[in-house]
Amino acid sequence: MPAIVDAATPTTPEQCVSCGAQLSGRYCSRCGEQVFEADALTLRHFLVHTVAHELLHVDGTLWRTLRLLFTRPGQLSLEYAAGRRRPFVNPFRLLLIAIVAYALLASTGLNVTWNIGPVTLSMAPVVVRRSISVEGTIEQIDRYGLLRRQLAAKTPQLEGEAVRERFHDRLEAFTEPVSFANVVLLALALHVCFRRRRHFLEDAAFSMHAVSFVLLSSVILLLAVRLRFWLHSYLFLVMALVSLWQFAYLAAAIRRFYLANGRWGARLLSVGAAILLYVLNTAFMTGVQIVGAAIALALL
C-alpha cells in the first residue's frame, strides 16, 4: 500500500513519498515515483519541465515510431520482438491512432478500392455511405447477388428516410468495428504460414504495424480523392502508386521480419505471402459487408 506522508512533515529525499521505499537515485526502484523536490510545485517548473517534457516526449516517441514505420518496413516489429519498446509507441496504441486518423477522413463516405470485374480489392476497411438509398448501398456491397432474394422480400419496407437511416445505422454498427478485426485474421494467417519462426504475439504486433501503415498511407488516397478536381487524370496515377507502395511495403516487411535469411527464395515467398494476405483481407472485408447488410435488412 502507498505510504501516507504527513503534509506538515518535511519529506526526506531518501524515502519515496508513494511507497516508502529507500531511494538510491532520481526514481524509486520499487514503484518508479520521481524524487519529490520543493520547487516542483512552482509555476516555472511546471511550464519549463513538466509541460515541455510531456509534449516533447510524446511527440518524439510518436514521430520516431512513424518515421521507422514508414521508412523501414518490418523494423518496428523487430524492435518490439527484441524488447526495445520504450522508445516507440505500443503497437495497439499506434493502431488506435491510425484507426482514428483514417475514420476521420473517411467519415464523409470516401473510400478507395480497386474494382476488377466483380472483385473489389481493398486493404483498408470500407466506410458506409449513409447518403445513398438502401438499394444503392446493397448494390455496392453485394456484387455477387447473395442478398438479391432478401432485398426483394424487403423492398416494400424500404420507403422513407427513417428506414434508410435505420438500415445504415445498423449496418455501420456491425461493419465498422468488425472490419478492424482483420488485424486478428492477418495475425492468424501469419502464424500459420510462419509458425516455427515467431510467437503469436509477435505475429499480432507485426499485423498491427502493417495495418497501421496501410491505414495511414491510405490517408494519401483519401486526400487525393478529395483533390480529384485538381488532379484530373493524375488521380489514378496517385492511386496506383500508393497501392503499389502498400503492396511492396507489405512484402518487404514480411521478408525483413520473417525471412531475413535467403535471397531469391525469400523474396518470392514474401511476395506470395503478401498476395495471400491481400486475398484473405479482401475476402474478409467483403464478407463483413455482406453479413452486416443481411443483418441490417433482417432487422428492418
All cell numbers assigned to 219: 490517408
Backbone phi, then psi, for 101, in 5-degree steps? -60, -45
Place of cell 480489392: 121
What is the per-residue DSSP string for 26-53? Answer: SB-TTT-PBPP-GGGGSHHHIIIIIIHH
Question: What pLDDT is stored for residue 178 in this prediction?
Answer: 83
Q: Strand, helix or coil at 17?
A: coil
What average pLDDT does this structure show over 85-94? 90
Q: Which residues pair with 114 in a beta bridge?
A: 121
* Residue spans per domain, the chain: 1-36, 90-300
Residues of the chain above pLDDT 90, percent: 18
Query: Which residues are within 8 A (CB) of 97 and not within 5 positions of it... i.e. 6 or more apart?
Result: 62, 89, 212
Q: How many Å is the Cα radius of gyration of the chain?
A: 25
Question: What pLDDT is stored for residue 265 in this prediction?
Answer: 79
Query: Which residues are within 8 A (CB) of 208 and not within 5 positions of it... i.e. 6 or more apart?
Result: 91, 92, 94, 95, 183
pLDDT digits (tens, 9 = 90+) for 12-45: 457 787 787 877 777 787 777 777 666 666 666 6
What average pLDDT does this structure show over 109-113? 53
